[in-house]
Chains A and B, each alone.
Chain A
Amino acid sequence: MQAIMPRLKRAGHYLIVAAFCFFTAAPFLIMIVNTFKQDADLYRPQNNPFIYNVPPTLDNLRLLFEGTNYLGFVRNSLFVGVLVVLITLVVAVPAAYALARLAGSWGERAGIAIFLVYLVPPTLLFIPLFRVVTAFGLNDSVWSLVLVYPTISIPFSTWLLMGFFKSIPRDLEEAAMVDGFSRLMAFFKVVMPLSLSGVIAVTVFTFTLTLHEFVYAMTFISSSDSRPLSVGVPIELVRGDVFYWQSLLAAAVIVAIPVGIVYNMFLDRLVAGFTMGAVKG
């Protein structure tokens, strides 16, 4: 009798976890299954949608890679991602350091102000930015995204890095200055190596952020050749009424799973950034 209760409890616990996992992972499950389904299997409503009623096939993947511009989307996303990461680091690292150390009492307030900029959504700014991008002649070019994405990544990265810099004892920089380096060099020689993990976290988030972004990409870019993944897949793989469903779902899951796993590894940092206070320690 006594032994049954804890076991029941544990089973109940697993049941709840499993139910939630099923809910969150269901779309990906469907995506993976459908990736290898033949048309004859998929498009028969009476077939069990969770198993292969007809032998699986690789044709859908072949179509995705050879018959569509998928690789072009991947290339565009990588190109934009790498450049945005670079711009973000070059701008956010010094800004975060300035707010953490060089600015006096207003540093904290300026930091919060910068963080609030992160909350200004693309859906508020895409119309004027469309005109700005046009004015720069960057319409329909991945460069428009390279220009605009840092407005989202810089505020958040600055906030995150500020926490990192604050957690490095001031003594270390001052020791470096006494040892003969300028403030600037002390920053490069001591602070930067010690905040490497912060820089990595910022890199990961900025990169995933560029992968996620949809509104600007859809607004600024209308030619298939310049589209990144987030927009290219849902728009290009649907031609009129023709949905290449298996290839579409394959395209989504191929990006989703790796990004999800990497994201998961750095999640705690992100949460610390979100919940503010927590990064100070």
Chain B
Amino acid sequence: MGVVELRGLRKEFGEVKAVNGVDLSIQKGELVVILGPSGCGKTTLMRMVAGLELPTDGEVLIGDRNVTALPPRARDIAMVFQSYALYPHMTVFDNIAFPLKARKAPKEEMAQKVEWAAGILGIQRLLARKPRQLSGGERQRVALARALVKEPAVMLLDEPLSNLDAKLRVSARDELQQFQRNLGITTIFVTHDQIEAMGLGDRIAVMNAGKVRQVGDPQEIYDDPADTFVATFLGSPPMNLLERNGHLLGFRPESFLPLEVARGDREKVTFPFHLGRVENLGSDRLLYGTVEGAERNRTISKLPSTVEVSVEAGETYDFAVCRADLRYFDKESGLRKEPPPREGG
């Protein structure tokens, strides 16, 4: 049984079903990323785990204890808010020590723990400052230190990197992963950024419209999406979806290659690809076009710059996908299904 267990969790705000039946089990020391588009209920889910929101229905278990009705302070959790929520009237030291004060820890323990947390995040020299004297990156570290110092059973992070600039975000992500691994703190990380999710997560839970669509490790989510939502939410550009012979079939743009390039002995399916437009991104070329003889047929191919085939807009070429890279989805429900017995190309 996991450190955190969510069972049939639902939350309604009046008419809005923000979270609509979530079951999730998170193991000790694991970093689970909750990924989904804006407004899909990630924050609401997280707040229910934290105890800041009472579920309409369902249960939250933390460390084998049913904490559904308990306030945040009785849950053994820590949380980093998107805004960092540093207390503006306290110094960095007092901010970090705040959870220990709540616990009425003795002075000496307080100093030692703050020192320890600040050390891990490399912010010892900032301890005397006030939050408004810190940069965005420093604030984020202080918020992390404040979460760390509690040594919680679970650490909850709600888009903690979204306020940082692009460059800082990459290094902060790296550090975050480092110390999470080192300390082995069970962590739930919320983001709508798929690159962050892929790079960081031990497992990813993809959410949409209040429901978890798929849980799995990053590769699994990418390679074997459970439905068309997951298939098109991840990857850039997203998975191509073609409707043909009553089936919905999907394949990644990078598996969709000109026939002469796609060598190797794996069984292939060929499509006549009418090329509309070419976009050169330097490392890749994106080819936008349509597959002839399919109903929903807008398709993208992603060619690495190492592939030196010359193609021209307006022409039709033979492109191929390995049969093993084809995914089939149900036309109505969008769910994955087994490949049909006979599918030719």
Touch test A–B (CB under 8 Å): yes
Residues of chain A lying within 8 A (CB to CB) of residue B51: 177-178
CB 8 Å contact bits of A159-201 with B (1 = contact, 0 = none): 0000000000101101111111111010000100110000000
- Stretch in contact with the other chain, from B58-66, B76-84, B196-204: B76-84
Report how many A-B pairs have Cβ atoms within 8 Å.
57
Residue in contact with A174 in the complex, picked from B78, B81, B89, B99, CB distance below 8 Å: B81
Q: In the complex, A225 Cα to B79 Cα: how many Å? A: 60
Q: Is the CB of A181 within 8 A of B102?
A: yes
Answer yes or no: B113 CB below 8 A from chain A CBs.
Answer: no
Q: In the complex, A104 Cα to B87 Cα: how many Å? A: 25
**Residue in chain B with minimal CB distance to A175:** B85
Residues of chain A lying within 8 A (CB to CB) of residue B72: 174, 177-178, 180
Q: Is the CB of A171 within 8 A of B81?
A: yes
Q: In the complex, A190 Cα to B78 Cα: how many Å? A: 17
Q: Is the CB of B88 within 8 A of A194?
A: yes
Residues of chain B lying within 8 A (CB to CB) of residue A181: 73, 102
Q: Is the CB of B85 within 8 A of A177?
A: no
Answer yes or no: B98 CB below 8 A from chain A CBs.
Answer: yes
Residues of chain B lying within 8 A (CB to CB) of residue A182: 71, 73
Q: Is the CB of B71 within 8 A of A177?
A: yes
Q: Is the CB of B79 within 8 A of A178?
A: yes
Give the shortest distance, in Å, between A279 (CB) and chain B (any CB): 19
Q: In the complex, A181 Cα to B52 Cα: how many Å? A: 12
Q: In the complex, A257 Cα to B150 Cα: how many Å? A: 54
Give the shortest distance, in Å, between A18 (CB) and chain B (any CB): 42
Q: Is the CB of B150 within 8 A of A172?
A: no
Please indicate which of the listed interface residues B50, B78, B89 has the most CB atoms of chain A within 10 Å of its own CB.
Answer: B89
Given A180-B99, A180-B102, A180-B103; A175-B81 close (CB under 8 Å): yes
Q: Is the CB of B98 within 8 A of A176?
A: yes
Give the shortest distance, in Å, between B100 (CB) and chain A (any CB): 8
Q: In the complex, A178 Cα to B74 Cα: how many Å? A: 9
Q: Is the CB of B77 within 8 A of A179?
A: no
Residues of chain B lying within 8 A (CB to CB) of residue A190: 87
Residue in contact with B52 in the complex, picked from A172, A177, A179, A194, CB distance below 8 Å: A177
Answer yes or no: B146 CB below 8 A from chain A CBs.
Answer: yes
Residues of chain A lying within 8 A (CB to CB) of residue B150: 179-180
Give the shortest distance, in Å, between A71 (CB) and chain B (any CB): 40
Give the shortest distance, in Å, between A160 (CB) and chain B (any CB): 20
Give the shortest distance, in Å, between B11 (CB) and chain A (any CB): 15
Q: In the complex, A73 Cα to B103 Cα: how many Å? A: 50
Give the shortest distance, in Å, between A108 (CB) and chain B (any CB): 16
Residues of chain A lying within 8 A (CB to CB) of residue B99: 179-180
Q: Is the CB of B89 within 8 A of A178?
A: no
Q: Is the CB of B88 within 8 A of A178?
A: no
Q: In the complex, A182 Cα to B79 Cα: how many Å? A: 16
Q: Is the CB of B71 within 8 A of A169?
A: no
Residues of chain A lying within 8 A (CB to CB) of residue B87: 172, 175-176, 190
Give the shortest distance, in Å, between A201 (CB) and chain B (any CB): 17
Q: Is the CB of A174 within 8 A of B52?
A: yes
Give the shortest distance, in Å, between B132 (CB) and chain A (any CB): 13
Give the shortest distance, in Å, between B283 (CB) and chain A (any CB): 39
Residues of chain A lying within 8 A (CB to CB) of residue B89: 193-194
**Residue in chain A with minimal CB distance to B97:** A179
Residues of chain B lying within 8 A (CB to CB) of residue A175: 79, 81, 85, 87, 146
Give the shortest distance, in Å, between A193 (CB) and chain B (any CB): 5
Residues of chain B lying within 8 A (CB to CB) of residue A177: 51-52, 71-73
Residues of chain A lying within 8 A (CB to CB) of residue B102: 176, 179-181, 185
Residues of chain A lying within 8 A (CB to CB) of residue B71: 177, 182-183
Residues of chain A lying within 8 A (CB to CB) of residue B103: 180
Q: In the complex, A60 Cα to B189 Cα: how many Å? A: 76
Q: Is the CB of B83 within 8 A of A179?
A: no
Q: In the complex, A180 Cα to B102 Cα: how many Å? A: 5
Residues of chain A lying within 8 A (CB to CB) of residue B78: 178-179
**Residue in chain A with minimal CB distance to B88:** A194
Q: In the complex, A171 Cα to B46 Cα: how many Å? A: 14
Residues of chain A lying within 8 A (CB to CB) of residue B79: 175, 178
Q: In the complex, A185 Cα to B104 Cα: how many Å? A: 13
Q: Is the CB of A179 within 8 A of B146?
A: yes
Q: In the complex, A169 Cα to B83 Cα: how many Å? A: 9
Residues of chain B lying within 8 A (CB to CB) of residue A180: 72-73, 99, 102-103, 150
Residues of chain A lying within 8 A (CB to CB) of residue B52: 174, 177-178
Give the shortest distance, in Å, between A133 (CB) and chain B (any CB): 42
Residues of chain A lying within 8 A (CB to CB) of residue B88: 172, 194
Q: In the complex, A176 Cα to B72 Cα: how many Å? A: 9
Q: Is the CB of B50 within 8 A of A179?
A: no
Residues of chain B lying within 8 A (CB to CB) of residue A176: 87, 98, 102
Sample of 22 A–B contacts (CB below 8 Å):
A169-B83, A169-B85, A172-B88, A174-B72, A174-B81, A174-B85, A175-B87, A176-B87, A176-B102, A177-B52, A178-B52, A178-B72, A178-B77, A179-B98, A179-B102, A179-B146, A180-B72, A183-B71, A185-B102, A190-B87, A193-B89, A194-B88
**Interface residues, chain B, CB within 8 Å of chain A?**
50-52, 71-73, 77-79, 81, 83, 85, 87-89, 98-99, 102-103, 146, 150
**Interface residues, chain A, CB within 8 Å of chain B?**
169, 171-172, 174-183, 185, 190, 193-194
Q: A178-B72, A180-B103, A185-B102 are in contact. List 4 more A-B contacts (CB 8 A).
A: A177-B73, A178-B78, A178-B79, A180-B150
